[in-house]
Amino acid sequence: MLAEPGTADRILVTMSNAGIRRQGRWLVRGIDLTLRIGEIVTLIGPNGAGKSTTAKLAIGVLKPDEGQVTRGAALRVGYVPQKLAVDRTMPLTVERLMNLTGPLDAQKLAASLEAVSIPHLMKAEVQHLSGGEFQRALLARAIARDPDLLVLDEPVQGVDFAGETALYQLIGEIRDKTGCGILMISHDLHVVMAATDTVVCLNGHVCCRGTPAAVSQSEDYRRLFGASRPGIAFYNHQHDHTHLPDGRVQHRDGSITDHCHPEDGHHHDGHDHHHSHEHRRSHSHDHDHVHLPGLTGERHA
């Protein structure tokens, strides 16, 4: 992640050896991370790995106890925090929430709500929204600010599956259209992969990083998730074949074929799961092949 010559002006945030300590314990340590214009970086890691802490360090909500974090002057941040509770005693409409940290022109406000599919909720009180609707409103608020850097801490929590895919697609589109940098936290690598440029795998420190394809294949990554996150389906099982980026299948014996076979034992007729079309983060059944990231969908089934 070292800056290449000529890219220095595109850098939004640089973290070098950054660490933060609370009550004698290092929450994260030795974080090196560079966020650039037009780049989507996704932080993944088990609970307590310091994903949110790292994001807060990057945008200055937390100050590093060690190392340095430098941000571009006048960096405009749009932030969707992981947790947000509005006290019921505060009357707050979606419209007012949109103007929370700065005034917004009406057109921009309407367009952002349109983008996250909740234009009809503009006058609704935020306390009456469902979790998914509220999350959309928060995302709309963040993007309406025209930020240089969008920081999204689990932006689709509580959003239904169809909406989740649409929102990730929207996040990719925002990057393409506005060229902002995006730092995202997600526990669901399946869905975010298509848009993400760099995945950083955290567990108190940076375990590994790279393209989604490279990270999901790395030993560090499998060890981390295989051991601690059985909920994420595709690491903790016996693979007998692997789907290659070009759509072909590599079997355990090393042979390569164009398709996987019925005897590979997955997602063919008679099976009650349906992950060839949808990957729910909650699914935890054993399927026995790896879905390579970077592919927009599976080539078989």
Partner 1 sequence: MLDDFFIRALLAGVGLALTTGPLGCLVVWRRMAYFGDTMAHSALLGVALSLLLEANLLISVFAVAVAVSLLLLLLQRVHALSADSLLGILSHSTLAIGLVLVAFMSWVRIDLMGYLFGDILAVSWLDIGLIWGGGIFVLLSLVFLWRPLIASTVSHELAEAEGLKPERARLCFMLLMALVIAIAMKIVGIMLITALLIIPAATARQFAGSPERMAVLASLFGAVSVVLGLFGSLYQDTPSGPSIVVAALCLFVVSLLPRPGQPTSRDPISGGSR
Residues of this chain that interact with partner 1 (CB under 8 A) are: 23, 56, 59-61, 77-79, 81, 84-93, 96-97, 100-102, 127, 145, 151
* Cα dihedral sign, 21-63-11-167: positive
**Residue 99 or 169 having the CB closest to partner 1:** 99
- Rank residues 2 and 74 by Cβ distance to partner 1 and give the closer one: 74
Nearer to partner 1, 151 or 185 (CB): 151
Least gap, CB of 101 to partner 1 (angstroms): 4
40: Cβ contacts below 8 Å, ≥ 6 apart: 171, 172, 175, 181, 182, 184, 195, 196, 197, 198
Distance between CA atoms of residues 52 and 56, nearest Å: 6
- For partner 1, which is the closer residue by CB, 8 or 90? 90
CB burial of 198-227 (b: ≥16 within 10 Å; e: otherwise) equals: bbbbbbbbbbbbbebeebbbbeebbebbee
Q: Which is nearer to partner 1, 57 or 156 (CB)?
A: 57
Are 69 and 54 in contact by the 8 Å Cβ rule? The answer is no
> Of the two residues 133 and 188, which places its CB atom closer to partner 1 in the complex?
133
Write down the least CB distance from residue 79 to partner 1, Å: 4
Long-range contact set of residues 203-208: C-beta below 8 Å, sequence gap at least 24? 203/45, 203/46, 203/49, 203/50, 204/26, 204/27, 204/28, 204/29, 204/49, 204/50, 205/28, 205/29, 205/30, 205/31, 206/30, 206/31, 206/32, 206/33, 207/45
| Contacts (Cβ under 8 Å, ≥6 apart) of 30 | 17, 18, 19, 67, 205, 206
Please, what is the minimum distance in Å from the beta carbon of residue 81 to partner 1?
5
Nearer to partner 1, 3 or 90 (CB): 90
Specify the residue, 180 or 260, whose C-beta has the smaller distance to partner 1.
Answer: 180
| Distance between CA atoms of residues 143 and 140, nearest Å | 5
Min separation Cβ 189 and partner 1, Å: 25
In the complex, minimum distance from the CB of residue 240 to partner 1, in angstroms, rounded to a whole number: 46
Give the Cα separation of 5 and 54 in Å (integer): 26
CB of 149 to partner 1, least distance (A): 10
Q: C-beta of 257: minimal distance to partner 1 in Å? A: 50
> What's the half-sphere exposure (Cβ side, CA atoms, 13 Å) at 198?
18
Closest CB 26 distance from partner 1, rounded Å: 18
